[in-house]
Structure 1
């Protein structure tokens, strides 16, 4: 069964095309990497699906129903650079924000919700930082807090925008452990990702995107040198040892 169906999404910025006629379907329980060069529209695609930016055209269905009817099934981890980390709040409160989709924005989280949020922090190794102001956390710790917030959302489909950017090796491992756990639970995850060396290890599906889809499907079939050449406009080199594909620069 497809968890997500994207049809004919197009987006423009200042009358310039950012995405053109993007169509693909994501199977349930898959880990999908969204791969492409800078300016390819990867983050724009996620934001247009989530209705964070307007679409010129296109349709999104979640488990066969319109997105607006299934919004509670969706979780989102934005880029760290898009978050105001100076906002005066602590790690526990950030995680509790992930529960408002379940309890409603007008209700104050009770003891049960706070306990659940603490369990989410514990899963990412951040329980000892629950009362720490987010501005006082390192980049990797901030990302772990956002992972805990995503856990608190208890969603069925997750979108993650460059979650591995600028994090330490331990945090990267923690992220992957969480993604694998979600996959075992039948959840579906789409991740904007830049490191071509780890695509085969991290994702079972990938979307190669450069404003329009180049290829989508199982990673072992789609993530090929020829397809990457087409996606990146030839700006690739091959590391012959172990046939690892790298992006130049």
Structure 2
């Protein structure tokens, strides 16, 4: 059984194709990096899987069941740029939002739920900021709060859209630590990622994307210069297991 299966997904914007013929299946308990050049449709892919954007064709299943029937199993960490950080709420309330699928949108959180949310904040080093307005937090702190919200969701499949963008080194380490803990617990994580130098260290699977899948599979098999050339074109420069590699595409 696959944690996630995407079949023949297609998305258009203003009648222009953004994603075409996207099909892949993600094994349970894996860390998948979604890699590709700017404009490749990486964030669009996540949003279309989550039904946040309309699709032209295709379907998505989670543990062999339609996505809509499995929404409670899904956790999502959006890009920081898409969040209204001026919204008048504190860190604890943001984390409690991750529990709404469990307690219901119109019910008040009980003491047990509140304590669980505080535990999640503590796990990402934000316990002392529970009552702080999110607008008063730094970028790294804001990202940690959303990590805590994802923890509170207690999902089986997590989607993270550029979680390392604009964060400090300590927050990046906290994100990686959490991702690896999820993997050890048998959970599945898909991450939109840009830094080619860290791909081999962070992910055991890679989806190389440029509007359509270039290659998907285990990192050691997919993350090659030949495949990167196909996805990016031009000159490729990155670190491969600590060794600088540069190659001009002919």
Aligned to 2:234: 234
C-alpha displacement of 1:106: 1.1
* Conserved 8 A contact 2:196-2:239: no
Instruction: Find the aligned partners of 1:232 and 1:39 in 2 and give their Cα distance.
Output: 11
Instruction: Find the aligned partners of 1:205 and 1:94 in 2 and give their Cα distance.
Output: 30
* Conserved 8 A contact 2:30-2:188: yes
Aligned to 1:215: 215
* Conserved 8 A contact 1:196-1:245: no
CA deviations on 1:64-109 (whole Å, 9 max, x unpaired) are 0000110100000000000000000000000000000101101110
Mapping of 1:54-73 within 5 angstroms? 54-73=54-73
Aligned to 2:7: 7
TM-score, length-scaled by structure 1: 0.97
Mapping of 1:159-174 within 5 angstroms? 159-174=159-174
Query: What SS does the aligned partner of 2:120 have?
Result: helix
Change (3 A) 1:117 1:241: closer
Structure 2 alignment gaps of length 5 or more: none
C-alpha displacement of 1:237: 2.6
* Conserved 8 A contact 1:3-1:28: yes
How large is the RMSD of aligned CA atoms in angstroms? 1.6
* Conserved 8 A contact 1:197-1:244: no
Question: 4+ residue runs of structure 1 moved beyond 6 angstroms?
Answer: none
Query: What SS does the aligned partner of 2:234 have?
Result: coil
Aligned to 2:108: 108
CA deviations on 1:138-176 (whole Å, 9 max, x unpaired) are 000000000000000000000000000000000000000
Instruction: Find the aligned partners of 1:99 and 1:239 in 2 and give their Cα distance.
Output: 40
* Conserved 8 A contact 1:196-1:247: no
CA deviations on 1:94-141 (whole Å, 9 max, x unpaired) are 000000010110111011100000000000000000000000000000
Structure 1 alignment gaps of length 5 or more: none
C-alpha displacement of 1:196: 0.3
